[in-house]
A = this chain, B = another copy of it.
Amino acid sequence: MITGKNYIGNELSAKGNITFNTFDPKLNIPTEWNFHEATDGEIDTAAEKAQSAFKVYKNTSGEQRADFLIAIAEEIEGLGDVLIESYMKESGLPEGRAKGERGRTMGQLRAFANLLEEGSWIDATIDTAQPERQPLPKTDIRKMQVPIGPIAVFGSSNFPLAFSTAGGDTASALAAGCPVIVKSHPMHAGTGELVASAMIRAVERTGMPDGVFSNLNSSGIEVGQKLVMHPNVKGVGFTGSIRGGTALYQLANERKEPIPVFAEMGSINPVVALPGALMAKGEDWAKSYAGSITLGAGQFCTNPGLLLGVKGKELEEFGSILGKEIEKIEPGCMLHPNIHKGYEKGKEELSSQSKTEVVASFDTEVPPNYGKQRILKVDGSDFMANPKLHQEVFGPFSVLVQCENTDELEKVIDQLEGQLTGTVLGNEEELENYGPVVEALKNRVGRLIFNGVPTGVEVCPSMQHGGPFPASTDSRFTSVGTSAIQRWVRPVSYQNWPQNHLPDALKDNNPLGIMRLVDGKYTTSKI
């Protein structure tokens, strides 16, 4: 049941008088669910509970935390259709997507549970003593990762489940041993509360400390700001706009004790379409890209917003087929009137730039809040001269840039801001012949894709979801995949520490059986 209250640790709480409703974008009316904004007092209590919970939670075993994550997945599944219905109502997204995203959310929780059970992620590194070393003896030193403290997680608008309440940021922080305070996304606060209720049941079921998880409602920015500035909060996970993420990043750096902010922000995900690929499979790629650009009404951070190529018959044909294909696709409902308004505004703003030309545009009337796709075309030199064209338009929109030659193509890529992904459509020979273009692309992105589409982000150890600024605030970390746990830990060395008092991960007999770096060699053996 959706109560509209906050979870301050395990307690439902509604001390504030400011309330807001979520919105059904398909019916274009507010939902019946009314939410109480968290008050300053509630934020403080959540932060204090998180601090107390941390003292216990950081010392739970990997196995205990794995059980907790699995219990969360089970409780989410246990919510049944109620969750799917609130998801659809608050997001306008279809049932298939809702169920797929629920599966991914549970899959992520289970992937982190597996990671904890395997245990090597803790990076145990041991250098044993050398008492006979000259000129000075060497003492025993052992290092492992420890959790940094309570984390504030900001739910994202476009992933009500997989990147919100119990999404990737929360799952990775809880896996690391950090309590989490979620600032629920106001567009799907009901879905958020349902998931939070499942999480609280999992907290109680597995005996985790009260305060290890809280869920705060807010329709404005103040609750989030207060959370980021709270001295008990030691890190922030965010998925959203460049403006929002950068503001939180700057705020966190102004604290007396700055804290890391992992903001996954904008990306236009450049796609380099080389002539060989277009010659061989231009029509297929045009169809794939029409699908990728409009997938989920274009509301993915990996949406291909920039198609790059060298002028010629192949690129022209590709553009023309892409245009025809994309006009055939039925537009989808966007997440919220504000998202839709932002999309239409951005689309028109870019379309009105001089030297741009519309390749394709869906212009038939659609219901309110549906995002109508459009493709623009511009020359490489005009694109480089106008940074407005480099901006992300969040929705089913893409710009096709026609470069004069390979040099110009390389220059265009060099000038791009940091991106999550970069794709090359080509044949193997072209990878060789366009070496500097591919190198330039690699320099601007976190993930390179060969002959594919950037949408569809695998949750696996090898995934890098994050790229040079402003794709994310810290390109050294990923927000998708099991490596995301590394954002919430820091190493601690134990020097000359007695065996019995070392954490299990660092004991001579390796009771966890994990991979460790011992005296420079990787091994799962005892010492």
Contact = CB atoms under 8 A, between A and B. Distances in A.
Interface string A442-483: 100111111110001010111110001110011110100001
A492 B445 CA distance: 8
Contacts of A270: none
Given A257-B418, A428-B498, A492 B461 contact: no
A391 interface: no
A148 B466 CA distance: 14
A21 to B, nearest CB: 35
Nearest to A435: B501
Nearest to A255: B469
B136 A260 contact: no
Given A469-B257, A476-B491, A498 B450 contact: yes
A462 B496 contact: no
A146 to B, nearest CB: 7
Interface stretch (A120-128, A275-283, A346-354): A120-128
Contacts of A138: 458, 460
Copies of this protein in the complex = 2
Contacts of A142: 462
Give chain A's interface secondary structure class: mixed
A143 B476 contact: no
A250 interface: yes
Interface string A399-411: 0000000000000
Contact of A253 (B143, B253, B495): B253
A486 B145 CA distance: 14
A489 interface: yes
A462 B127 contact: yes
A142 B468 CA distance: 19
Interface of A: 55, 59, 114, 118, 120, 125-127, 136, 138-139, 141-143, 146, 148, 249-250, 253, 257-258, 260, 417-418, 428, 431-432, 439, 442, 445-452, 456, 458, 460-464, 468-470, 473-476, 478, 483, 486, 489-498, 500-501, 515, 517, 520, 522
